[in-house]
Structure 1
Amino acid sequence: MTKIRFQLAPKPTKAEKTAQGKSGFVPVGTRWILERSNAWMERSKSLVKNFEPTFSHATTKINLCLMRLMLKRLAYI
């Protein structure tokens, strides 16, 4: 099994937000993508508890969950 390494973009400081003319919540590119993906996968009831015996079964469940999400989005187009 290999570890996935990536760098998260730093959160903007209050000074950077005011310089951009923004206030409150400002989504950061990389963080926003990861957080939304995790939230979509958590909606799938089969992924709420990890009862899968092997890593390959778990990754297959995640792939099926994402395919289901894509099909739902295509149905609304």
Structure 2
Amino acid sequence: MNKIKFKLSPKLSKAQKEKKGKMGFVPVKARWVIERTNSWMERCKSLVKNFERTLAHATTKVNLCFVRLMLKRLATG
């Protein structure tokens, strides 16, 4: 397995947001991808708590969760 490394962008300060003319929540590109992926995974109720004994079984459950998500999106589109 390879580790995936993300370089997270720093959050903008209030002064930087005002300078760019933006108010409130401004998503940071890399951080937004990670947060969205985590929220999709939390929809799978079997992943809420890890009952698996091996890493291989836990990884398989995560993969099945994403396969189920892709199939749902293909069925609706």
Aligned counterpart, 1:76: 76
- Displacement of 1:71: 1.1
Aligned counterpart, 1:15: 15
CA deviation profile, 1:35-63 (whole Å, cap 9, x unmatched): 11111101101100100111111111111
The 5 A counterparts of 1:1-77 are 4-77=4-77
- Equivalent pair of 2:6/2:30 in contact (CA under 8 Å): no
Q: Gaps (5+ residues) in structure 1?
A: none
Task: Give the alignment's TM-score, normalised by structure 2.
Answer: 0.88
Amino acid at match of 2:71: L
Secondary structure of the residue that 1:41 maps to in structure 2? helix
Q: Between 18-27 and 5-14, report the one with greater CA deviation.
A: 5-14
Q: Gaps (5+ residues) in structure 2?
A: none
CA distance in structure 1 between the aligned counterparts of 2:71 and 2:39, rounded to whole angstroms: 17
Query: What percent of counterpart residues are identical?
Result: 66
Runs of 4+ off more than 6 Å: none
Amino acid at match of 1:33: V
Count of matched residue pairs: 77
Task: Give the alignment's TM-score, normalised by structure 1.
Answer: 0.88
CA distance in structure 2 between the aligned counterparts of 1:48 and 1:65, rounded to whole angstroms: 12
Provide the alpha-carbon RMSD of the alignment: 1.6
- Equivalent pair of 2:9/2:31 in contact (CA under 8 Å): yes
